[in-house]
Structure 1
């Protein structure tokens, strides 16, 4: 115990390591994943109660890193989907009002004081800024005790509920298709008539790309506005159904793959490592006019995206290009093509971005009745990260992080945050949980979490959204980073993160406001 007390840093990383072991143990079809650090932290915090007081900075650092990186990653998707997701945002208000009703009625039925119940509300919805607002209004630590009891209950219920929803296959008729897991196909078509490529189904809508063209004895890259003549052969790239539709319009499929012959036209990937390209569209790269080349695919992490003219490029992307062989060195130099440079973090942009996020989180907003609230170290960096992720760059500053770097930083931040929260909450949780009062508070926390998540998940289904986006919204309304990571470990789908970001910041603001309403009863 003395060793733990003497080295808080060692303690945190030991909790991270043991939490990873616990998180990897299968509990039926469920694994705790990163949340294992929270539960190991509760035990360590109980035996070394003085340790929690030294971890405030680590907790804030971990949370800020996590939410800022999530914001950067999902900013583009959030702002492009915001018009179509306002109904989901409205559903989050309904879900939280249901949680308020459960807190007030359930707390009274279980004989809990309102100050304890409001802490359970903040804890079961894992929202530290809401706890801070409750503590500010009440002027005592009673909400913090309820928070320590409700927090683990919210995490456990959240893991179970998200696991039940995320892999469902209901039709999301009003949702956008997932990019993750899509497999692009390249097929060689032979023309049975003269046809302009602009007339091929999917070309104008950017659902297909064309690369190789063999006309007679000549092989080259397809040019924009190319007119295919009868017997010309062309490589069509896209999703299987889009490629099949295009091939039928052109003529018929040729089982020989034209791209196998690379004696004249080469095809390979280049790493986009020059920051100047961050946020630029494929059209703005001007590959056709510069090199007589065409980009067909973007590889971003595990996602393969069709390189439509309107698709934006991020540093760290692998861009697959068909080009004349003599242009290979020029294209490599153009993109940078440096794995080492991609692995380097722009410390200026990262530091400024998180600084702006923390500053935004410190701004106080007035509420009726004289109370105030702030976004805190959770929502502030998230909101700024979303804005900067949408902008991608401002002059020489590139805000967007390469995907691998982003995932590493957010995972580190999440583990530090959960370990610190567990250690800090351990003494109060272990002291109160075994008592009848603690049991009643935990029951209330379970009820609040179940109702909130059910309303949020079912609202997503009723709105015609996919199960992955609905599960992401459930993680967002609960405000729990571990649930996002857990859902992503179950299903590879970028809509999970988009749903999380859509609700997370709005949910924090709503919960802070609703704390004042609960304390009126």
Structure 2
């Protein structure tokens, strides 16, 4: 019977979410392009992007200092990768032991706010671009795929001491960061390395830089995670005044374990990483199998019930249960919380754990903004649904 009710009400469950988005957009006269632009500006204001600045050394107190001795440089998260000595015409690679002289020009990498602070300490901003200045210095980007490197800090790799190169930036999950020495490396991190071409080539083997390893699907960690999730899902949690224990089930258990393991990133030789293509394929396969099983179980009596008074009642109840909470949440989000429309669409999709609705929301303005809100509320929604369903069964059968 639950599978039959699910099958009858599911179609409007998808259409209802999309209809709620369309209604909110029409009633509020929202321009999705402007909302997407506002979301991008909000994201940019939350964290400054990594930039570069050329600084001319004018402070005489800098003369004779090594780069690692510059006051506040490390605390500001600044990396200096290139230097042009006073009187020289070529630029050279800079590292922690490079000695400064008054009149030298250096290229620093960091956030704009911190770069200006360092500029006040060292001298003045230079109009000369050391990236364009000739010299035996180049840069390349490498991906961290070697197990021996994972969990180590950039300082512990000793790339400067061993190869004379400097790591300036780290790209992790589309977020660019300054390569501070204390940053611990994770699988899939992309490092930008500056130095001489021959020295940079040696770094590739240290980090791994294997596209094959990046795209390889390692099934052992996945099945270990699923197994742990199933065990957690079967564990009974007892609460006061509840005659029956509550379980997270085969959906909630693996979800909680996946969140924990993804935060850990690795356990011994096991790396909790899955390529995007494999992730999407397994996700679609799981949804397809779930819907197929629900359809097979409900198919025997589906058409018998669909157009009966009971079937129509179920459909009406499903429409009310879908639309009313969504429209209420959308009204509160826009009127009181001043939520961005693109975020709101992701929240509505995540509150119903509905991937088709998320795809529609992403296609409104070819924006990934809804995915952020969707991923935030999805785990909580899934757990609450599992627990509340069991609590309601216990409550109405007492």
Q: TM-score range by the shorter chain?
A: 0.7 to 0.9
Secondary structure of the 2:316 match is helix
Q: CA deviation at 1:274?
A: 1.0
Give a deviation string over 1:351-378, Cα, whole Å, max 9, x none: 2111111222222334645334322222
Candidates 495, 512, 515, aligned match of 2:372? 495
The aligned residue for residue 157 of structure 1 is 16
Secondary structure of the 1:364 match is coil
Number of residues of Structure 1 aligned to a counterpart in Structure 2: 372
1:394 aligns with 2:267: yes
- Greater share of residues in helix: 1
Q: CA deviation at 1:432?
A: 3.4
CA RMSD of aligned residues (A): 4.2
C-alpha distance in structure 1 between counterparts of 2:133 and 2:296, whole Å? 61
The aligned residue for residue 83 of structure 2 is 213
Residues 211 and 294, structure 1, Cα contact 8 Å, conserved in 2? yes
| C-alpha spacing 1:229/1:338, structure 2 compared with 1 (3 Å) | same
The aligned residue for residue 66 of structure 2 is none
Secondary structure of the 2:75 match is coil
1:316 aligns with 2:188: yes
| C-alpha spacing 1:412/1:210, structure 2 compared with 1 (3 Å) | farther
1:512 aligns with 2:386: no
C-alpha distance in structure 1 between counterparts of 2:11 and 2:47, whole Å? 33
C-alpha distance in structure 1 between counterparts of 2:183 and 2:295, whole Å? 42
The aligned residue for residue 306 of structure 1 is 177
Residues 350 and 375, structure 2, Cα contact 8 Å, conserved in 1? no
- Describe how 1:460-475 pairs up with structure 2 within 5 A: 471-475=345-349
C-alpha distance in structure 2 between counterparts of 1:432 and 1:182, whole Å? 57
Residues 54 and 130, structure 2, Cα contact 8 Å, conserved in 1? yes
Q: CA deviation at 1:499?
A: 1.0
Determine which structure has greater relative contact order: mean sequence separation of CA pairs < 8 Å that are 6+ residues apart, divided by chain length: 1
The aligned residue for residue 146 of structure 1 is 5
1:188 aligns with 2:54: yes
C-alpha distance in structure 2 between counterparts of 1:308 and 1:486, whole Å? 37
Q: CA deviation at 1:341?
A: 2.2
Secondary structure of the 1:314 match is coil
| C-alpha spacing 1:331/1:422, structure 2 compared with 1 (3 Å) | farther
| C-alpha spacing 1:187/1:431, structure 2 compared with 1 (3 Å) | farther
C-alpha distance in structure 1 between counterparts of 2:92 and 2:354, whole Å? 52
- Describe how 1:412-431 pairs up with structure 2 within 5 A: 412-418=285-291, 420-421=293-294, 425=298, 430-431=303-304
The aligned residue for residue 65 of structure 2 is none
Candidates 222, 227, 241, aligned match of 1:350? 222
Residues 149 and 442, structure 1, Cα contact 8 Å, conserved in 2? yes
The aligned residue for residue 354 of structure 2 is 480
Residues 91 and 130, structure 2, Cα contact 8 Å, conserved in 1? no
Secondary structure of the 2:131 match is helix
Give the TM-score normalised by the residue count of structure 2.
Answer: 0.73
C-alpha distance in structure 2 between counterparts of 1:226 and 1:488, whole Å? 49
Give a deviation string over 1:461-483, Cα, whole Å, max 9, x none: 65677666655443333233444
C-alpha distance in structure 2 between counterparts of 1:144 and 1:440, whole Å? 16
Q: CA deviation at 1:336?
A: 1.1
Secondary structure of the 1:449 match is helix
Secondary structure of the 1:251 match is strand
| C-alpha spacing 1:401/1:159, structure 2 compared with 1 (3 Å) | same
Structure 2 unpaired stretches of 5+: 63-68
Q: CA deviation at 1:381?
A: 1.1
426-435 vs 346-355, which deviates more?
426-435
| C-alpha spacing 1:204/1:513, structure 2 compared with 1 (3 Å) | farther
C-alpha distance in structure 1 between counterparts of 2:377 and 2:324, whole Å? 18
The aligned residue for residue 145 of structure 2 is 273
Residues 53 and 109, structure 2, Cα contact 8 Å, conserved in 1? yes
State the structure with more CA Rg: 2
Q: CA deviation at 1:394?
A: 1.1
Residues 469 and 498, structure 1, Cα contact 8 Å, conserved in 2? no
